[in-house]
Amino acid sequence: MALSEKKPVPQHIAIIMDGNGRWAKQRGLPRTAGHAAGGEAFRRIANYCRTLGVKYLTVYAFSTENWKRSEEEVSGIMKLLGKYLREALADMEKNKVCFRFFGDLSRLSPELQKLCEEAVKESKDYDVQVNFCLNYGGRDEIVKAAAAFARDVAEGIYKPEDLTEELLASYLYSADVPDPELIIRPSGEMRTSNFLLWQSAYSEYVFMNVLWPDFSPEDLDKAIEEYHRRNRRFGGT
């Protein structure tokens, strides 16, 4: 389906990759198998977004709350992440995708932190960008931005009254990245789960009753078609 030939696709799409655990449970598999299947779904959708001409894809990979899960599940997710990053580094020249990470990476293992740093460094000159929200929480991001601004005020760089929305946004993980026009949540859940709270102020949300490992290019087409049916007024009439 040549969706991009009909109407322009959103330049920034964000996805809450939800439903891996339920997908595995339905099949009598361990939750780690669901995360592995979810990783393949990400590859599939990331490649499709690139063919459509999407410039930015932001995905919720691991939240600040996900540490509450079992040690086995967290360990499995981190191993899958490391495997993906090593493969991505090996295929960097072929795929030509710019990597960014939104979140506090300091809690990750030194090996994973190094892989993230290498991915950012090696891909910085590519145009199509994938933003991985990793150990990320929307509230935590805003708190860290406010704290960074407060430190700059204490150092005399700014005055408190200098603060504007644009200035605060420059302290966010997503600085210099346009806000997402479309945010998709598969799995049938209808909540934002602390995802891009600042950036989503005027995003269009599409909730879909399909588990993330089963999410297909056709599902993405449906979400974009729904996006085009919306009347985006940005507070106007």
CA pair distance 189, 34, nearest whole angstrom: 17
* Strand intervals (E) in the chain: 12-16, 56-63, 97-102, 128-136, 182-185, 204-207
Cβ-Cβ contacts under 8 Å for 29 (sequence gap 6 or more):
none
Q: Say if residues 19 and 213 touch (Cβ distance below 8 Å).
A: yes
> Distances from the Cα of 93 to the Cαs of 62, 125, 126, in angstroms?
26, 11, 9
Active site residues: 18, 66
How many helices (DSSP H) and strands (DSSP E) are in the chain?
A: 9, 6
